[in-house]
């Protein structure tokens, strides 16, 4: 449609500019692009649609576990146990919605090494991140009192 040798970055920028006055946007998610509704319209969409089957069922402990996986990946369940001082339930990894956020990564580099956990493209989309570089800087979190130094 646009010819060989066309710059994808220029095409995406043009599309983003064309959508500027519309209720949706082009967002970079992981290694790809997503056309999504702008966040300002989320309350209206939630009111108009039944999104109960799509909502993440995260409890107060799931978010820190997901954050630990994101910041320390690839990390084993034993690594998570070291961080939290307790065994991490397999439930987090087993629930369908959350299973889409994390997946098994490479085995730990030891003989009989444990499988590790890593985040997925769905994790980035769910939290509005382009990639791991978009995570808050750990030092800034510690300075703000939001994590251990």
pLDDT tens string 69-108: 999 999 888 888 888 888 776 666 556 556 688 888 888 6
Backbone φ, ψ for residue 94 (5° rounding): -90, -20
d(CA 109, CA 115): 10
Paired with 118 in beta bridges are: 103
| Whether pLDDT at 131 is above 80 | yes
Paired with 103 in beta bridges are: 118
Ranges in the chain annotated CATH 1.10.10.10: 62-143
pLDDT recorded at residue 47: 74
Return the H-helix or E-strand segment holding 105: strand 102-107
Fold of 62-143: Arc Repressor Mutant, subunit A (1.10.10)
Q: Which whole number is the average pLDDT over 49-78?
A: 79
Side-chain half-sphere of 8: how many Cα atoms within 13 Å?
4
Asked if 33 contacts 27 with a C-beta cutoff of 8 angstroms, the reply is: yes
117's enclosing H/E stretch is strand 115-119
Question: In the predicted model, what is the mean pLDDT of residues 5-15?
Answer: 84
């Amino acid at each position: 449609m646009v010819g060989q040798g066309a710059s994808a970055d220029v095409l995406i920028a043009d599309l983003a500019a064309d959508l500027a006055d519309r209720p949706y946007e082009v967002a970079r998610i992981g290694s790809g692009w997503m056309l999504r509704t702008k966040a300002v319209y989320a309350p209206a969409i939630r009111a108009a649609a039944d999104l109960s089957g799509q909502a993440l069922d995260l409890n107060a402990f799931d978010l820190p576990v997901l954050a630990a996986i994101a910041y320390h990946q690839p990390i084993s369940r034993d690594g998570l146990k070291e961080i939290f001082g307790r065994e991490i339930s397999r439930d987090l990894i087993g629930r369908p919605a959350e299973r889409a956020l994390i997946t098994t990564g490479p085995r730990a580099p030891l003989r009989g090494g444990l499988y590790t956990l890593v985040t997925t493209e769905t994790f980035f989309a769910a939290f509005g991140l382009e990639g791991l570089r978009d995570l808050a800087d750990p030092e800034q979190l510690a300075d703000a009192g939001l994590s251990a130094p």
